Structure 1
Amino acid sequence: MLYNGGISPRGGSPCDHWEPQAAATYFTFLFIFMNNSEKLYAVFAQSLNIGAENVTDELTYNSIPEWDSVAHMALVAEIENSFEIMMDTDDIVDMSSVGRAKEILAKYNITF
């Protein structure tokens, strides 16, 4: 059983009550159908544990409590995993916004 609650709670995602492994499988499945911008936004939302509606190119490091130094490293790991790249240290430090992340990923032949 993928879903622990039967029906989706009002206003929430059906994934809100899924077992962690099932939710991860679902997001992996969705990545197949996402363009790179959607994928990056999803990575930011999932890694920072914020709503996708809060992810914009203008979102910057430390502008929200969820994007601190610890979350930054988790975010980098998830970006590297999702886009199958290994970022240079300078790029990790320089990734100060979602928009800047797109510019950095372009160096790794990721197009937006």
Structure 2
Amino acid sequence: MTNKELYEAVFMDALDLVDRKALQGLEFQGHPNWDSVGHMQLISALEDAFDITIDPDDMIGLASYEKGQEIVRRYGIEL
């Protein structure tokens, strides 16, 4: 599994999504499962999957699927 596939899988699993199409344009609070609790579950899942510790500022900044890709790249993960 590539890092990009893993990134997608983390979002799908953490937010309990069933369709990959839902990822494009997905934003915080733009889906019922991406509320504040879902956000912390997503952060935890990303940290576990990529063996990183996400800075609090980046936690706050992770406001969309696309922004999350930028943030993960900051930690040396190639997607």
**What TM bracket, shorter-length normalisation?**
over 0.9
Query: If the length of structure 1 is used for normalisation, what is the TM-score?
Result: 0.67
Q: Is the 8 A contact 1:47 1:74 kept in 2?
A: yes
Gaps of 5+ in 2: none
Structure 1 position 69 matched with structure 2 position 45:
no
**Which gives a bigger RCO, structure 1 or 2 (Cα 8 Å, sep 6+)?**
2
> How many residues end up aligned between the 2 structures?
79
Partner SS state of residue 43, structure 1: helix
Structure 1 residues 54 and 66: alpha-carbon distance in aligned structure 2, compared to 1, 3 A threshold: farther
How far does residue 55 in structure 1 lie from its aligned partner after superposition?
4.0
Structure 1 residues 42 and 50: alpha-carbon distance in aligned structure 2, compared to 1, 3 A threshold: same
* 1-structure distance, mates of 2:73, 2:10: 16
Partner SS state of residue 71, structure 2: helix
Q: Is the 8 A contact 1:41 1:52 kept in 2?
A: no
Structure 1 position 80 matched with structure 2 position 63:
no
Q: CA RMSD in A?
A: 1.1
Please identify runs of 4+ aligned residues in structure 1 that moved more than 6 A: none
What one-letter code is carried by the residue in structure 2 that aligns with 1:97? S
How much identity, in percent, do the aligned residues show? 34
Q: Indicate the residue corresponding to 1:93 in structure 2.
A: 60
